Amino acid sequence: MEKPHVDFGLKLLGGDVMAIPGLYRCVQETIKGQIAALYHWPKTLDIPILDSSCGATKKPVGILHVKVIRALNLRKMDFLGKSDPYVKLSLSGERLHSRKTTIKMSNLNPEWNEQFKLIVKDPETQILQLHVYDWEKVKAHDKLGMQVVPLSSLVPHERKELTLDLLKSLNPNDSQNRRSRGKIVLELTFDPFKEDNDGISGPLYGSAKESFGQSVHRNLELNGGVLLVTIQSAEDVEGKRHNNPYGVIIFRGEQRKTKIIRKSRDPRWAEEFQFVLEEAPVSEKIPY
């Protein structure tokens, strides 16, 4: 059976998503792949295009500075009171936990002025994803709206302030997008690293029993960089029964934990942790 020829365009956020460099080809390949697996042309087809399938490269190439400034005219979700908004941020193609602002209780025009540094691995295809939620004490947090910013729309080292309409979803046919959900105000700067000398990248091993795979990327000219640590696994963890091991990593007072592996003496986590360094750790040793 011959594959149908498909030509398409996607409208999104008042702009043409196909104008995002690299995305057209990526989407085309994704759709081609999906269609090849089908015998019948379907009426609708959901294809995730804003996830890791577009293959962000592994190596950090820069830092995205995000300042979440404020939101305006958010929707009232709480029966008593207004809404208790907070913002979750993440970059597409990353499996890391989302970063969050603080919660502003009972406020439909919250001011955060909170800064985040996100590690960028592929500025051509990665997209900043923002989700605003209404915090709830007991039940699930309500969605107040979302937006995305393709990093390819940013000029390196240039600060950009954006005021974006919050949407229900990225689906341009979603009738709920016609209802106003308020706006979010952001300041974004993408700082690419100048050049990566591979001289200081590579695995390091500690004297600890656990085997840690680590790599350090930094840029001495910029006096800063990124430390990536992957906690892979541990073996023969002590304790006879009911072992629920997790790993803890502390870097300059910043503590992160792996998930807990239930009842195992040989846990395997394979979790990556990212630390942003303001200054090059010229004379520092990594503590275990």
122 versus 134: smaller Cβ distance to Ca ion? 134
78 versus 196: smaller Cβ distance to Ca ion? 78
Structure tokens belonging to residue 38: 């089908």
CA distance 120 to 59: 8
Query: Under a CB-based contact definition with an 8 Å cutoff, are residues 15 and 118 in contact?
Result: no
Q: Which helix (H) or strand (E) holds 99?
A: strand 99-100
Site stretch for Ca ion (CB under 5 A), options 134-142, 145-153, 195-203, 219-227: 134-142
How far apart are CB 106 and Ca ion at their closest, in Å? Answer: 8
Could you say which of 78, 165, 196, 210 contacts Ca ion (CB under 5 A)? 78
134 contacts Ca ion (rule: CB under 5 A): yes
122 contacts Ca ion (rule: CB under 5 A): no
CA distance 47 to 26: 12
State which of positions 84-113 bind Ca ion (CB under 5 A): 84
Site stretch for Ca ion (CB under 5 A), options 93-101, 126-134, 147-155, 255-263: 126-134
Total site size for Ca ion, rule CB under 5 A? 4
How far apart are CB 78 and Ca ion at their closest, in Å? Answer: 4
82 contacts Ca ion (rule: CB under 5 A): no
74 versus 149: smaller Cβ distance to Ca ion? 74
How far apart are CB 46 and Ca ion at their closest, in Å? Answer: 30
CA distance 225 to 282: 12
Site stretch for Ca ion (CB under 5 A), options 30-38, 81-89, 159-167, 266-274: 81-89
Counting Cβ atoms within 10 Å, is residue 263 exposed (0-12), middle (13-18) or buried (19+)? exposed
CA distance 276 to 288: 18
How far apart are CB 140 and Ca ion at their closest, in Å? Answer: 11
The number of CA neighbours under 13 Å toward the Cβ of 169 is 6
CA distance 11 to 14: 7
Instruction: Enumerate binding residues for Ca ion (CB under 5 A).
Output: 78, 84, 134, 136
